[in-house]
Structure 1
């Protein structure tokens, strides 16, 4: 009898260990940036992974270098990024240790904008507009990729402009005020963004190709991630969020004062047919 009890106890412990290991294998540590393009698509993927039986723990980063270091060390399992241009340098340094898991969205674009009724349509015409704005381009946070690209454009097109460092919030306020007063302004913007949807502005053409073409979002992971769990990879690969939907989620957050989580929940409830298709695809 004692031997039987020992056997039952050992079997129970083994079963508990197996369940524990399986539970650990089901946990996915997701890295993201709290930005208006990356955060919503990360949240959509999180909801779908959870729908398919995985537990997802999200860590927010503020800087690409820290995010890629965390991914390389295994502090997070997956990270969404635009590795062709935006985070190309970090990807190049670490790509031997990392892998592309799947595409997530496509269409990110950044450039110089002016009011929609401005009498210019191309970056090479900006010098004709310089006197109207005091030769200043309203900038955002110094050191960002977009600020570097605008500086590159000034050199490439020999523009008589100075880029004014600032913040995204300050740029947004100045852009809105200038448009309301029907005053000229030159600044920078990106898509997806609620600002590109709300404000009547136009991206200037870039005949010299200083600004990157529309970019793709990828899920990236430490090498071997896909091979470890083929189903997990198929679940992630089934998710693709159109760039216009990302813009719409941000617009809802800005216009209605909801959180991004609430905006994603609304999008989710309005796209149940699409999500059901993702489930079929991931089987």
Structure 2
């Protein structure tokens, strides 16, 4: 919405000249998880909604169960989620009380990755090069979905490598150290992430399909949100953030910016794209 028009409307409301639809409090309660793939989508969509005149209140949750419970209860109205695989249990359990608003991005993938100088292409090639990898695959936090899939890959491919449990920070440090020395290393990784860009890591082919295929992100909401908030729904539906842009925003954060600063820079650099999003609105 043009900021001058928005100012005129605000003045009309203050003078009592606007109708009830304009006088209502346009606050959107948005939930998110503080993960590097979700926070850029949340931040960009928040900026777009605010440019349309909404006030956006963002609540961060620590895990999907709490986030979905808050959405169903109405403590938050919308959030972005991967509903195909990563959070499909929570979506399936609650979808009768929720609605899918619009796709927000596509391409989330997780698997086993190696630096680009490593001369193998497939998970099937790990065994014959096990010694070069120190007979291990460097993992992240135990219990993560990625770790469960990596354990399944070791079983299905009959790999003679140990999956090392640890933390995301520990895996990142191991990857950096190996790349600095151009040593062979295999890690559990995901896309989008700044690590794939910074360390030029690539995923090994998975011919048996152990790892889930590329997944989409969707804005979801409590049932009835779109009908009750058509203007907000149209603004949200216009937003689509490519995986590469999510990774680039996080790379800027890793280089020292705050997430708010990185999102603001992205929004400024993509003003023409955001204008095209706004021109797609139908209200």
TM-score by length of 2: 0.90
Counterpart of 2:195 in structure 1 is 195
Q: Does 1:268 align with 2:270?
A: no
**How far apart are residue 269 of structure 1 and its match?**
0.6
In structure 1, distance between residues paired with 2:65 and 2:31: 12
Deviation at 1:228, TM superposition (A): 1.2
Structure 2 gaps of 5+ residues are 1-13
Partner of 1:258: 257
Contact 2:111 2:188 in 1 (8 A): yes
- 1 CA distance for matches of 2:48 and 2:151? 40
Following the alignment from structure 1 to structure 2, what is the Cα–Cα distance between the partners of residues 182 and 112?
A: 18
**How big is each residue's C-alpha offset from its partner over 1:186-219, in whole Å with a ceiling of 9 and x where there is no partner?**
1111111111011132210000111111111100
- Look up the match of 1:167: 167
For 1:90-109, what aligned pairs fall within 5 Å after superposition?
A: 90-109=90-109
Aligned to 1:5: none
Matched, 1:238 2:242: no
Other structure's SS at 2:126 match:
helix
In structure 1, the residue matched to 2:81 is: 81
* Separation in 2, partners of 1:48, 1:202: 33
Q: CA deviation at 1:126?
A: 1.2
- Residue in 2 aligned with 1:37? 37
C-alpha separation in 2, matches of 1:43 and 1:143: 28
Q: Quote the offset at 1:234 in angstroms.
A: 0.8
Q: For 1:75 and 1:160, locate their aligned partners in 2 and report how far apart those are by CA, in whole Å.
A: 48
Q: Between Structure 1 and Structure 2, whose CA radius of gyration is higher? A: 1
Q: Name the residue aligned to 1:22.
A: 24
Per the TM alignment, residue 221 of structure 1 is displaced from its structure 2 partner at its CA by: 0.7
- Structure 1 runs, 4 residues or longer, greater than 3 Å off: 18-21
CA shift at 1:45, angstroms? 0.2
The Cα shift of 1:35 comes to 1.2
Cα separation, 1, equivalents of 2:244 and 2:117: 23
Shift of 1:105: 0.8
Deviation at 1:142, TM superposition (A): 1.4
Instruction: State the 1:154 CA deviation.
Output: 1.2
SS at match of 1:95: helix
**Equivalences, count:** 268
